Structure 1
Amino acid sequence: MASLRDLRRRIKSIKSTQQITKAMKAVSAAKMRRAQENVLAARPFARRVRDVLGRVGSASVGLKHPLLAVREPQKVAYIIVTADRGLCGGFNANVIKRAVQEIKDRPNVEIINIGRKGRDYFRRRGYNIAQQYVGIGENADMGLTGEIAKYVMDKYAAEEYDEVYLVYSQFVNVLVQKPAVQKLLPVEPPEGDSDGKKVDYIFEPDAEQIMGKLLPMYVENALFQALLESKAGEHSARMTAMDNATSNAADMIDRLTLSMNRARQAAITKEISEIVGGAAALE
């Protein structure tokens, strides 16, 4: 059995850790609320962009655009969104696992990493990393998404990529974050309106110019939405992980305190027995 000194030292250490996990839980809860509000506020615009793209696409059958060109997938790019930091349960591991499953059957793949955890994993294993974006901060950045979107669109238009996929963690609720894979390029416009109605449109200016503006907007918005979803999921996962860690620390403290009390009682009983035994020997 551990000595009283060792037990006291362990209890003190775990209490210090518990204070840290409590603080991290509170910080993550505040960040999660802001990130969740951003996700919910951005989703209606993302749906509307998809609806407009579907309407223009259905009314412009046969329209030619570099981002709509379908080719045999010889070289594929994956944009993988993870967190820069850990201590968030299986959040990063789940996204990486889904990405590896998608990549394993592809012979010629380039990876674009957003987030340090994904970058470190794929770099250590020798994957072909084309671009990496780390230290992106606590909030999604439209400037960053615009830069990444321009990079993949230029590569796709130059036929250096034949397909581009987006792998990220979709925010479902505070307790659930689901890894998702989205085909980013070639753009596949939804069919018609979201309500299923067929409408004829007159375009001013022509449909080609409208598509020329709408398609890059769609790609950039899809990336921005993925970053928002990932940030909300990261903070939610970290809050849950720190809450579990705090509860586990409390359980450990209770068990160690019980062991310490038993050890102290045993020591007291032993001292009393020695005193009684010594007194009896003197008689």
Structure 2
Amino acid sequence: MPSLKELRARITGVKSQRKITSAMKMVAASKLRRFQHRAEASRPYADAMRRMMSELAAATRGQGELPPLMQGGPGKTHLIVMLTSDLGLAGGFNANLARAMRALVERLEGEGETVKILPLGRKGGDSMTRAYPDKVVERLPGTAGREVPFKTAADLGARVTQMLLAGEVDRVTVVFNRFVNAMTQTPTEEVLVPLPVPENDNKSEDTAQYEFEPNEEDLLTQLLPRNLQVQFYAALLESAAGEQGARMTAMDNATRNAGKAIDNLSQRYNRTRQANITNELIEIISGAEAV
């Protein structure tokens, strides 16, 4: 049975942990409001950009050789860009995405594709390096829970574009946690290259018809890299909001559990103290009777 001194030390330690987790919960809640607003604000623009580029891909199908950022490469090398956090203490935020990544890699390899992985964020880099050390082409730093600058998405888009134009990869998919609410983040995979073509891609009255000005090549040269950057930026914002939501929920649960542990330890402390007092009284009474 632990002594009173040991129980007091454990109670003091758990109280200190509860202060830390409570502070982390409040910090995550403050960040969540900002990140959630930015993630929700980015969705309409990213969705409209994705829809326009998909319709553009359908409209230009069959018009000769298209850029690699639109139709992909001729081979079967698939690049998966994984977006995770640099920091832990976020519940299953990173572990759930790692499981989704492993399932995706197994599925693609089962289809005969060669997989390369480009993780952004320390947690994703660590998990993928352990699981697939020969598939990780480079590890990119994340934002460490701070604001997400567009430059991060621009640099990531430039790196992926370079790999596509050099023929190192033929297809690109981004995997990230989509923010639903503070308690729910859904692992999501989005194919960026080749551009997804709408299911109803036959030209009809509802299908947009495009005329290029000044010309198709110049326009696509600007639009395709920009679309890649926008999709990465939207995914990074979703991931950042999901990280803060997961951390706030995890720290809230940790604070509650610490409170329960303090109550249990306090009960054990009081019972042990009462038992010690009772034993001392019995010894005193027994000694008095012996005299």
Give a deviation string over 1:20-57, Cα, whole Å, max 9, x none.
Answer: 00011011111111110110111111122123224434
CA distance in 2, matches of 1:69, 1:43: 24
**Shift in Å, 1:9:** 0.8
1:258 aligns with 2:257: no
1:21 match: 21
1:7 aligns with 2:7: yes
- Report if aligned partners of 1:165, 1:181 keep a CA contact under 8 Å in 2: yes
Tell me which of 213, 233, 241 is aligned to 2:222: 213
CA distance in 2, matches of 1:208, 1:92: 40
2:165 match: 157
- Name the aligned partner's letter for residue 249 of structure 1: A
**Shift in Å, 1:201:** 4.0
2:45 match: 45
- Report if aligned partners of 1:164, 1:186 keep a CA contact under 8 Å in 2: yes
Distance 1:172 1:201, change over 3 A: same
Tell me which of 143, 156, 174 is aligned to 1:166: 174
- Name the aligned partner's letter for residue 170 of structure 1: R
Identical residues among aligned pairs (%): 38
Distance 1:201 1:111, change over 3 A: closer
Equivalences for 1:116-131 in 2 at 5 Å? 116-125=122-131, 126-131=133-138
CA distance in 2, matches of 1:121, 1:201: 44
- Name the aligned partner's letter for residue 191 of structure 2: K
CA distance in 2, matches of 1:55, 1:104: 31
- Name the aligned partner's letter for residue 139 of structure 1: E
- Name the aligned partner's letter for residue 21 of structure 1: T
CA distance in 2, matches of 1:128, 1:76: 11
1:243 match: 252
Equivalences for 1:175-254 in 2 at 5 Å? 175-190=183-198, 197-254=206-263
TM-score by length of 2: 0.89
**Shift in Å, 1:186:** 1.6
**Shift in Å, 1:73:** 4.5
TM-score by length of 1: 0.91
- Name the aligned partner's letter for residue 151 of structure 1: R
What is the number of equivalent residue pairs in this alignment?
Answer: 279
SS at match of 2:79: strand
**Shift in Å, 1:209:** 2.8
SS at match of 2:96: helix
1:89 match: 91
**Shift in Å, 1:189:** 4.4
Unaligned runs of 5+ in 2: none
CA distance in 2, matches of 1:87, 1:260: 30
- Name the aligned partner's letter for residue 279 of structure 1: A
**Shift in Å, 1:231:** 0.5
CA distance in 1, matches of 2:43, 2:271: 57
CA RMSD of aligned residues (A): 2.0
1:136 match: 143
SS at match of 1:181: strand
CA distance in 1, matches of 2:3, 2:57: 75
Distance 1:78 1:56, change over 3 A: closer
**Shift in Å, 1:19:** 0.5
